[in-house]
Amino acid sequence: MRQYLVAGNWKSNGNTESNAALIGGLKSTAIGDNVEVLVCPPILYISAVQAETADTAIEVGAQNCSATQEGAYTGEVTSAMLADAGLKWVIIGHSERRTLFGETDEVVAAKVKEAVAAGVKPIICIGETLEERETGQAEAVCLRQMDAVLATNAPSADWVIAYEPVWAIGTGKTASSADAQEMHGALRRYLREKAGDVAEDMRILYGGSVKPGNAAELFGQEDIDGALVGGASLKAEDFAGIIAAANA
Ligand code: 13P
């Protein structure tokens, strides 16, 4: 049975004070046995957030990692450094990194390789744009993005896939639970074809305007194993509401 994963991607938001207030506000949130909760702050705040969550079940991850190992790569943080800092998770290939920072499918695959080699579990983001959905290419785009990772990496039950339709990110538009399930089901079938039984253990998260009000319906779908949450993960009450929906 797959455990739900509710992961907060704080993106480039927050400061020392607001981060402490956010974690403080989450401390009393019950986390069910079948639920894992993760927050991914900006890299500079990770150690402070680790200290603030030390006596909680909340895990801490990174939002990005380098495609390279250590060396002369100014500004890059390697997966080995993330592991050294005690992190078990890293988000890879978020659509903002793909569209705003030029990350190709190949770069995403290289980052997954580095993360896995360092013992950091990747949350691999995929998803189509509105134009791709409207022209009937949504599934093909997601499978192409998945294929690039599969081409150079052995699939593992530790992988988490985050299906985040680009048009639903930060827009208030969510895929209907039926549309999301259709894509998650297609992804699971594809992963089963490529990876066999391990696909049953891989968690596939939905991301894109997840809120307390739509989380329960999304989590009720067979192949939706949690959420990657942006805006609503910055408000303790909203993130707690999404965790509560996974607990139920
Ligand atoms: P929103 O929840 O703000 O739409 O962001 C989703 C996202 O990009 C999470 O990685």
Residue 174, pLDDT > 90, answer no
Is the pLDDT at 173 greater than 90? The verdict is no
Mean pLDDT of 211-230: 98
Which of 13, 92, 164 is the best mutation target for the ligand 1 pocket, counting ligand atoms within 8 Å of the beta carbon and taking the most?
Answer: 164
pLDDT surpassing 90 at residue 236: yes
144 contacts: CB under 8 Å, gap ≥ 6: 105
Probe ligand 1: pick from 13, 97, 169, max atoms within 8 Å of CB? Answer: 169
User: Which of 57, 36, 41 has the alpha carbon at shortest distance from 49?
Assistant: 41
User: Taking 90 as the threshold, does the pLDDT of residue 86 lie above it?
Assistant: yes
Each residue of 8-40: pLDDT tens digit?
999 999 999 999 999 999 999 999 999 999 999
Looking at residue 1, its pLDDT comes to 80
Instruction: Give the whole-number percent of the chain exceeding pLDDT 90.
Output: 97
Pick the more confident residue, 174 or 109.
109
Quick one: pLDDT band at residue 172, thresholds 50, 70, 90?
confident
Q: pLDDT tens across 114-162, in order?
A: 999 999 999 999 999 999 999 999 999 999 999 999 999 999 999 999 9
- What average pLDDT does the structure give for the chain? 97
- Asked whether residue 199 carries a pLDDT value surpassing 90, the answer given is yes
Domains of the chain: 4-237 (3.20.20.70)
Q: Separation of 26 CA from ligand 1 center, angstroms?
A: 19
Which atom of ligand 1 is nearest the CA belonging to 233? 2
From ligand 1's centre to the CA of 71, what distance in Å? Answer: 32
Q: Is the pLDDT at 175 greater than 90, yes or no?
A: no
- How far away, in angstroms, is 33 Cα from ligand 1 center? 25
C-beta atoms surrounding 203 within 10 Å = 21
Active-site residue 94, yes or no?
yes
**Sheet of 203-207: strands edge to edge?**
58-60, 35-40, 4-9, 226-229, 203-207, 160-163, 121-126, 89-92
CB 193 within 8 A of CB 214: no
Q: What are phi and psi of 51, to 5 degrees?
A: -65, -40
